[in-house]
Chain A
């Protein structure tokens, strides 16, 4: 978040640049429309404006999304989409705008909890008009993520695969181990890696979300989608025996302080970025990082490690056999609408097409569940490896901490994040942590 505050300044400059781009695009639409008028794809009947408040700033994806918008505007020359890069404060900005009665036409929201809240307040418009195109391109599991109180209010446009583990290839080679398929193999490998002289795990414990993600993957792999969603909605209590089991498994990873880069005390001060650079430094300070597909980008930009020879990734190992082993945890941006106009309908339907997804996917840093988009579109083999599971995934869950009330699931050093940091400090106190988690969840869900 810190770096993003600084980025905000850059975003201001980007707005100016964006204005220039838009001007250029619109300067060109008239001639473009003439050129493509032969093809039946151009629809001039729909006219109107769409305002869009987005999380992506100049450094996090504004450009590729603008490319998606431009392609849409070529098909619908009568529609103008105005993208406003808001950045990470988007939920707060939207909450204020909604309360003030002037929300944008559309937005992308990364927190299903926020969407649920807006839907319950009847601030969102259902997108059932897009059902046919959505059903054609997304599996049931994907669409269920955008369903609130039985209605399709949103769909996941951009997703990150969170059920991944990244590993340092030379460190694995030195230890003579292979990417594990099962959790017990992972633990056994970790012991061997430690004996080879490198701590097995790098944990970015200064940021609580890395720890909740680890827990969530363990819980998902052990108990499956239904139970995961029940815990996510607080229908299963945090004092439940299933949580005890998952925490015990997690304790097998966090319990050996000498097998974590910098020990547990050091891990508590390592940011997510540091946990990545630690694992892919040379010589390595650790061999593995548990985190999402975006780790690849951090490795490439901040270390000298190369794909395949320096770093690689494997799917979160199986804990219980069957469907649970193939389930995928994602985080992502859901498209929501606050109004319902023909222009908005056209844009929503367009965003659900494989063509729209491919425009961004080609540029990297983008995953999608749009199974009609070919995985060949992804720019490199690592991205293909991390994002292809999303296309075929049947059981999908959304990042649990993003689905919960932010007071519990998304406050730095507090609630779930803070308590999992406490757990990292003392992985033996499972009972105590469960009780504190339950108390914090209860308080947050009461509001």
Chain B
């Protein structure tokens, strides 16, 4: 407080005035930027979308909040965020902090883990959106998946091919010609949907082979020429598809012979005993290349957001916990070790309990952060998934500012978020008091 004015008795009024002058800036700032908007928002939440005049709606805005599926999804997602993020951030931070204590170059490691916090959440969102892209050519995560998947099941030569006529029908992953064949028959297996650049190299003009006694032969070819051509007919300008494995099935459905097509797409099953057969293309030719997981799709969008968010904040937790670790009394750890405790026991029974206050800080900070999370959702989720990725702060922005223009419901959400954060804040204030 200000020193009493030199000389003379400090008047009561002057003392109050001094106090008022010193307090005024803080009061004005709090009043203008905190109290007034908060009170205004609370009042606003009981009025309709357009303004105050005659638009009193009572608690309707709050009812909307808990009845419309748009908002209940947001509340549900926020609950998931609160349940998952603080725990994971604290756990990963703890692991990193404990591990970095033991390694060389720990500073470099810590810097790398801490780095994401230095990037704006918006930039993080954009970056992760590209990482998550479903197309393996763009999304790094799915590109990794493709390497693994294609090694296990290599894509077939005709992964996009479609039958050119209805007589070729899907059959256990491949295609089968409906028409029954007998020795001396010819099977025409026309395929479309193959881009010119996807035709296997070395392909030549397709040829319809002549029937041969005792054999079943035929051709697999790209049954398409500009304009469409005649489906099911081998025409000039249509290329054979080499390297396709063709199967001959007995009437019981068993594969009795396989053959590979030549450069002109022709194939031949020799010395076929009398009977009824069907020919078709095996499933392996149609094996699709890895298409990527839909990380940004409706079912995975929230987990994807959580992972990116944990990636951002794990470094923060690590630094806070590492600070807690370094100020921990070493003699207690030593004593435990001398008493014969294993490293795990030391960690579980001594380190973690001693770190409890620090972990609480991490938890509380993260709960507050997560309740008002917005930017990462806005930047990472595609617009088509905003409905599934919705969280409260995002719903507030969309309802009030972006298009919705409904400041009544927007204010109600703001008040609701405030109420959710309030207990955590009170807890935090109580802790501060205790520490002081």
- Could you tell me which A residues sit within 8 Å of B by CB distance? 2, 92, 95, 99, 173-177, 192, 194-198, 205-208, 258, 262, 265-266, 268-269, 271, 283, 405-407, 410-415, 417-418, 421, 447
- A197-B405 contact, Cβ under 8 Å, with A176-B226, A192-B228, A208-B384: no
In the complex the two chains form, is A406's CB within 8 Å of B404's CB? yes
Q: 12 A-B contacts, Cβ less than 8 Å apart?
A: A2-B379, A174-B196, A175-B228, A177-B227, A192-B227, A205-B384, A206-B382, A206-B384, A258-B193, A413-B383, A413-B384, A418-B384
| From A192, A269, A411, contact of B134 by CB (8 A) | A269
B residues with CB within 8 A of A: 48-51, 70, 126, 133-135, 160, 162, 164, 192-198, 224-228, 294, 296-297, 379, 382-387, 398, 401-406
Bound complex: CA of A174 vs CA of B294, how far in Å?
31
Contacting residues, chain A, for B406 (C-beta < 8 A): 407, 447
Instruction: Give the CA-CA distance A411 to B402 in the complex, in Å.
Output: 7
Asked whether A262 lies within 8 Å of B135 as measured between CB atoms, the reply is yes
User: Among A2, A196, A414, which residue has its beta carbon within 8 angstroms of that of B386?
Assistant: A414
Task: Tell whether A413 pairs with B386 under 8 Å between CB atoms, given A173-B226, A269-B133.
Answer: yes
Task: Please name all residues of chain B whose beta carbon is closer than 8 Å to the beta carbon of A2 when the two chains form the complex.
Answer: 126, 379
Once the chains bind, are B225 and A176 in contact (CB under 8 Å)? yes
Within the complex, the shortest CB–CB distance from A426 to chain B, in Å, comes to 12
Q: How far is the CB of A400 from chain B (nearest CB, A)?
A: 15
A286 to B238, CA, bound (A): 22
How many whole Å from B413's CB to the nearest CB in chain A? 14
Residues of A within 8 A of B194 (CB): 197
Complex: how many Å from CA A98 to CA B142? 49
A-B contact count (CB 8 A): 113
User: Is B50 a contact partner of A268 (Cβ separation < 8 A)?
Assistant: no
Q: B266 → chain A, closest Cβ, in Å? A: 22
Q: Give CA–CA (A190, B202) in the complex, Å.
A: 29
Q: Is the CB of B401 within 8 A of A206?
A: no
**Interface pair B405/A283, CB less than 8 Å apart:** no
Residues of the B chain whose Cβ atoms lie less than 8 Å from the Cβ of A266:
134-135
How far is B286's CA from A272's CA once the two chains are assembled, in angstroms? 31
Take A283-B197, A407-B404, A411-B404 as given contacts and tell me if A418 and B227 are in contact as well, using a CB distance cutoff of 8 Å.
Answer: no
Please tell me if the beta carbons of A265 and B164 are within 8 angstroms of each other in the complex: no
Contact A195 B162 (CB under 8 A): yes
| B398: contacting residue among A92, A175, A411, CB under 8 A | A411
B-side contacts of A207, CB under 8 Å: 383-384
**A95–B405 contact, CB under 8 A?**
yes
Give complex CA distance A58, B314 in Å. 39
Which of B70, B198, B382, B385 has the largest number of chain A CB atoms within 10 A? B382
Q: How far is the CA of A198 from the CA of B297 in the complex (A)?
A: 24
Q: A197-B160, A205-B384, A414-B386 are in contact. Are A283 and B195 (CB under 8 A)?
A: yes
Select one of B49, B192, B228, B387 contacting A418, CB under 8 A.
B387
Q: Which residue of A lies closest to B404 (CB)?
A: A407
Choose from B48, B70, B193, B197 the contact partner of A195 (Cβ within 8 Å): B193
User: Which residues does chain A contribute within 8 Å of B405, judged by CB atoms?
Assistant: 95, 405-407
Complex Cα–Cα for A447 and B51 (A): 11
Take A175-B226, A197-B196, A198-B195 as given contacts and tell me if A406 and B383 are in contact as well, using a CB distance cutoff of 8 Å.
no
For the complex, give the distance between the alpha carbons of A271 and B133 in Å: 12
CB distance from B355 to the nearest CB of A (A): 40
Are the C-beta atoms of B198 and A413 separated by less than 8 Å? Answer: no
Contact of B384 among A174, A268, A405, A415 (CB under 8 A): A268
A201 to chain B minimum Cβ distance, whole angstroms, is: 15
A197 with B226: CB separation less than 8 A: no
Residues on A with C-beta less than 8 A from B226 are 173-176, 196
Query: Which residues of chain A have C-beta atoms less than 8 A from B228's C-beta?
Result: 175-176, 192, 195
- B225 neighbours in A (Cβ, 8 Å): 176
A258: B residues at CB distance < 8 A:
162, 193
A269–B196 contact, CB under 8 A?
Answer: no
Are B382 and A268 in touch, CB under 8 angstroms?
A: yes
Question: Which of B197, B383, B401: most chain A CB closer than 10 A?
Answer: B383
B50 to chain A, nearest CB (A): 7
Query: Which of A194, A196, A205, A269 has the most B CB atoms < 10 Å from its CB?
Result: A269
A420's nearest neighbour on chain B, judged by CB, is B384
Closest 7 CB pairs of A and B: A176-B226, A413-B386, A197-B195, A411-B403, A176-B227, A195-B192, A206-B382
Chain A residues contacting B133 (CB-CB under 8 Å) are: 269
* Cα-based distance from A406 to B405 in the complex (angstroms): 8
Name which residue of chain B comes closest to A421, CB basis. Answer: B384
Is there contact, CB below 8 Å, between B398 and A414? yes
Chain B residues within an 8 Å CB radius of A417:
383
The distance in angstroms between the C-alpha atoms of A283 and B160, with both chains bound, is: 15
Q: Establish whether residues A262 and B134, one from each chain, have CB atoms under 8 Å apart when the complex forms.
A: yes
A173 CA / B227 CA spacing, docked (Å): 9
Instruction: Kindly state the separation between the CA atoms of A176 and B238 in the bound complex, as whole angstroms.
Output: 13
Establish whether residues B297 and A265, one from each chain, have CB atoms under 8 Å apart when the complex forms: yes
The residue of chain A having its C-beta at the shortest distance from the C-beta of B228 within the complex is A192
In the complex, the answer to whether B403 meets A414 with C-beta atoms within 8 Å is yes
- What residue in chain A is nearest B381 (Cβ atoms)? A413
- A192's nearest neighbour on chain B, judged by CB, is B228
A197 and B193 contact, Cβ closer than 8 Å, known pairs A176-B228, A206-B382, A269-B384: yes
CA distance A392 to B61 in the complex (A): 49
Min CB distance B237 to A, Å, is: 10
* C-alpha gap A205/B196 in the complex (Å): 27
A257 to chain B, nearest CB (A): 12
Task: Provide the bound-state CA to CA distance between A383 and B23, in Å.
Answer: 65
Q: Name the CB-closest residue of B to A408.
A: B403
A98 to chain B, nearest CB (A): 12
Contact assessment for B403 and A410 in the assembled complex, using a CB-CB cutoff below 8 Å: yes
Whole-angstrom distance between the alpha carbons of A417 and B160 in the complex?
31
Q: B402 to chain A: which residues have CB within 8 Å?
A: 411-412
User: Which residues of B sit under 8 angstroms from A176, Cβ to Cβ?
Assistant: 225-228
Residue of A nearest to B191 (CB): A195
Smallest CB gap from A443: residue in B: B68
CA distance A207 to B297 in the complex (A): 14
Task: Report how far A266 CA is from B134 CA in the complex, Å.
Answer: 7
* Complex-state Cα separation, A177 to B401, whole angstroms: 46
